[in-house]
Homo-oligomer: A and B are copies of this chain.
Amino acid sequence: MMIEVDYRFPRGVDAKKQAGIIAIGQTAGTWSVRHQHREGQLRAHLAKVIALREEHDGASIATVAFPRGNVEGDIASLLTMIFGKYSMAGAGRIVAVRLPVDYGVGAKFGISGLRGLTGIHQSPVVMAIFKPALGLSAEDHADILREVAEAGLSIIKDDEIMPDVPEAPTIERLRACRRVIDETKSSRGGRELLYALNLTGRADQLLAKARRFVDEGANAFLLNVLTYGFSVMEALAADPAIQVPIFAHPALAGAIAASPDHGIAYPVILGTLMAHCGADAVLYPAHYGSLPFNRDDEFAIRDSLRSRGVFPVPSAGIMPKLVPQIVADYGIDVILNAGTGIMDHEGGPAGGVKAFQVALANIAADK
């Protein structure tokens, strides 16, 4: 199977011409008579324009089919080929990418693995975010973790901006929280609260830290895939020493996806590419929430992730009152990820967890 990419060009751009430039310029390029003896191999690398259609607003969608052999089966070489130099060529945007089923790295855990770890099989899974994002000590984190663990929360994660800094080094947050995870485990029917620890640093250090953290009892990770690199996510996913689920955060996605006529659409960046890079669960803005997000984009992301068994995690501004609507739209295969919705609840973090549990119980009772 070829790799098919849909490029959207705004009204006024000669889409046929541009697609032709992509098909040649992003693959073998042109060659002179000096390379006629390699004609066969060179031709085999060229992409083809296989479809061209006009949209109602005058924009055009061109579909270019690239040979799979031009790339290495990872996201970075794919991005370099389909939009590397061409991204600087003017107005034009990638709106869909269709990859072979076996392209990339699969999730180690995904929906079924995370259900096994959390023991939540017939309901959405509830996840919280440590707040305030910065400025708490490792012990502060452990205190918060104890409260939500005892309240029955399934997963908690660092805020994505929490770095590895002297004030609360990642290893100390892990150790302080790991103690509480162990202490609260038996009261939770033997289920550990999963703590998605934010992985940061230079690529070599980040990968080494991930292994060390697993040795010290980390049971989940968070990665800002777009700021650290898909290549780092793939390395974590492929590492047999890292047998814990990895949550992918969408930080920076808007810099690539938010423009109408440039960049790469959200469903590609946060759906298709995340689903092929080994993430177990992927966070993205919910249209119900605090970020302006398109409902169709949100559901396209959800469906891309699920098609590969990856857990969708609509995020940002998720409150207990939204639970009925989310469950109506998502069914049970969704992680409800709340920051202030849990941490700033009037009953404290435990009160926030209980509010989500009550909201879920009410839905179950209505059935």
Contacts and interface: CB of A to CB of B under 8 A. Distances in A.
Contact of A255 (B200, B207, B263, B340): B263
Interface of A: 26-32, 34-35, 38, 41-45, 69-72, 74-77, 79-81, 83-91, 94, 131-137, 140, 159-161, 163-165, 167, 200-207, 224, 227-232, 234-235, 238-239, 249-259, 261-264, 285, 291-293, 316, 340, 343-344, 348
Contacts of A83: 251-252, 254-255
Nearest to A43: B135
A317 to B, nearest CB: 11
A263 B259 contact: yes
A6 to B, nearest CB: 15
A315 to B, nearest CB: 9
Given A28-B134, A83-B252, A85-B160, 10 more contacts: A26-B161, A72-B200, A75-B227, A90-B292, A94-B255, A202-B235, A203-B203, A227-B230, A228-B229, A256-B256
Contacts of A27: 133-134, 161
A76 B228 contact: yes
B74 A202 contact: yes
Contact of A200 (B45, B76, B135, B227): B76
